[in-house]
Amino acid sequence: MVDQDLLFLLEKVEKIADQDFDGHLTIMKFTGGWKAMFGTPSFTILGRTEVEPLQKCNNLEDCLDDLLNVYWSHKMIR
């Protein structure tokens, strides 16, 4: 069964990625949790500095929710 809340969040982040980030969305799962960002991290050491400060979440749903909150908080500042 598909989790409707997770599906809703995925549709939201995908839409934002398409309209504001040329379709780029990165979702990562590490031993310690999930991280996500709009865009694509660099494949150099710089990528590590882009990924390291991202919020680590216990599950994918919380991770996407956090990504949306960060996006909207930055959007409000602009």
User: Averaged over 31-50, what is the pLDDT?
Assistant: 88
Both tokens of residue 70? Answer: 């960060």
Both tokens of residue 15? Answer: 């839409």
Contact 39, 32 (CB under 8 A): no
Both tokens of residue 66? Answer: 């956090």
pLDDT in tens, 15-28: 999 999 999 999 99
Predicted TM-score of the model (pTM): 0.85
Q: What is the Cα 27 distance to its own chain's centre?
A: 6
Residue 48: which H helix or E strand, with range? Answer: helix 45-51
- Compute the Cα dihedral for 30, 35, 36, 41 and give only its sign: negative
pLDDT-derived band at 42 (thresholds 50, 70, 90) equals confident
